[in-house]
Structure 1
């Protein structure tokens, strides 16, 4: 399998603080919505360090959030990090195999793994910063009719043409989470359609897997050079 080096982690180190600030009536809060994903990770470009889906959904998300935390703490007590995950994560437990070391690469499986990591990272951050006024939430936008879905899952997109959500409908819960009083939200929770949703389904064996998040964070810090 070929790997593609993503520039996301490097760009994450060069953000401008003023670009991250959102003024809303009576409060100054900072909201970051992580990339919701790319579906199938494809082999593009020359040999490099990181698999593309992992670099986009996990390493870039982690690096940007960690580097923004000093700024987020200044915006406390109403700074928020909203990570856009996916219902695809329900099928996958947390794993320390971050870049898919198996012989046969499966983009759908890798995507699900990455989305599960986002859920566990959100829990970890929420616990770590619960007393510092930085609030962390993850969410699932539902299946929306976007160019990414059409490219990554062409058969699925064609079968459900006209039945999927619009981009605006997919973004609804992100905006809702940004505007809701934090007292009405649960730190570290996973939301879908403006309501808290379960992070695990029965008989999937994913719940206990979150115990490996600390070792994953150690790897991410090393990869990101933090």
Structure 2
């Protein structure tokens, strides 16, 4: 009688800490909630639905004689913003990195709006040195700045280090925005009590808490996650600026343009752009709330607020555990100040 062959037993042990599991589940929830919420609200159909509640009179206001500075203004939402402000009589300074593309954009806006008070200012927002040089030159104009639109943004999927030693996404989205705003404060104060700073953030920040790892030095680099982190910083900075400079007659507002079909999105998020082909907003629809914020009487707005489709929106998704992270903003401001 033959004995039965021995049985092979394979045991796989998976050990995972409760904290790691909790973080995995939290990230999954943030991503899923953002995707569902975004698809229902951030697309073109969301804009068309929300626009049913818009008041057309809100956008009919003229702002002749007011000086507006728009960064990243040669294409996409920045261009649409500059065009919208110029068509309402503003003197617009378009801050662009590329001189040739900037000149072309200025020419087009001047022609289409019949407003000759549209000017090009060349500045690379990834360079603190360049921003300091630009703001120093601009201050020589000694003019009040009524509206500063921090629109310039970037989503670079690979880690790129600038000549100044900074991670490129951080350099443009966070450091560039911070330096531009802080250095333009004296000119903004000249136009109080009507001065305002509008920062174009992103709903992507819903997926990320505030972190002091500004240059993404820990873990495997992800351009998409870094972009979300950057946008969270912009929203928290807007709160901080409103608190810090509330007595200077300057209003600070962050906004989300929705998911718009822009050259930047097509380049950095090609798969996303293709999957939502025909469902993304136009640049003009993305810029709508920027222009709205520039036109409204300040008493109708909440300084430090986050706006979406002409209404104040929540800065945090339910159960996403991002709210308490804003306590880190003071430490982040200290770090950013070290670059000035």
**Structure 1 length normalisation: TM-score?**
0.88
Which of 170, 179, 198 is matched with 1:54 structurally? 170
**Contact 1:33/1:81, CA 8 A, preserved across alignment:** yes
Deviation at 1:128, TM superposition (A): 1.0
Q: Secondary structure at the match of 1:139?
A: strand
Q: Secondary structure at the match of 2:246?
A: coil
**Which residue of structure 2 lines up, in the alignment, with residue 157 of structure 1?**
273
Distance in 2 (CA, whole Å) between partners of 1:9 and 1:192 is 30
Distance in 2 (CA, whole Å) between partners of 1:188 and 1:97 is 23
Deviations 1:115-167 (A, max 9, x none): 00000000000011112101100000001101111111111101111211111
**Contact 1:20/1:32, CA 8 A, preserved across alignment:** no
**Which residue of structure 2 lines up, in the alignment, with residue 93 of structure 1?**
209
**Which residue of structure 2 lines up, in the alignment, with residue 142 of structure 1?**
258
Which of 97, 118, 127 is matched with 1:8 structurally? 127
Determine if the alignment matches structure 1 residue 78 to structure 2 residue 194.
yes
1:6–1:166 CA distance, 2 compared to 1 (3 A): closer
Which of 298, 301, 305 is matched with 1:182 structurally? 298
**Contact 2:162/2:168, CA 8 A, preserved across alignment:** no
Structure showing greater Rg: 2
Q: Secondary structure at the match of 2:253?
A: strand
Distance in 1 (CA, whole Å) between partners of 2:299 and 2:326 is 26
Paired residues, number: 214
Which of 307, 313, 317 is matched with 1:191 structurally? 307
**Which residue of structure 1 lines up, in the alignment, with residue 86 of structure 2?**
none
**Contact 2:159/2:223, CA 8 A, preserved across alignment:** no
Deviations 1:33-76 (A, max 9, x none): 21353223434577751000000000000001000111111111
Distance in 2 (CA, whole Å) between partners of 1:141 and 1:59 is 21
Gaps of 5+ in 1: 22-27
**Which residue of structure 2 lines up, in the alignment, with residue 114 of structure 1?**
230
Q: Secondary structure at the match of 2:248?
A: coil
**Contact 1:34/1:57, CA 8 A, preserved across alignment:** no
1:126–1:100 CA distance, 2 compared to 1 (3 A): same
Deviations 1:157-214 (A, max 9, x none): 0111121111111111000000000000011000000000000111111000101100
1:209–1:19 CA distance, 2 compared to 1 (3 A): farther
1:48–1:69 CA distance, 2 compared to 1 (3 A): closer
1:56–1:136 CA distance, 2 compared to 1 (3 A): same
| Runs of 4 or more consecutive aligned structure 1 residues displaced over 6 Å after TM superposition | 18-21
Q: Secondary structure at the match of 1:136?
A: strand
Determine if the alignment matches structure 1 residue 39 to structure 2 residue 158.
no
**Which residue of structure 1 lines up, in the alignment, with residue 90 of structure 2?**
none
Q: Secondary structure at the match of 1:131?
A: helix
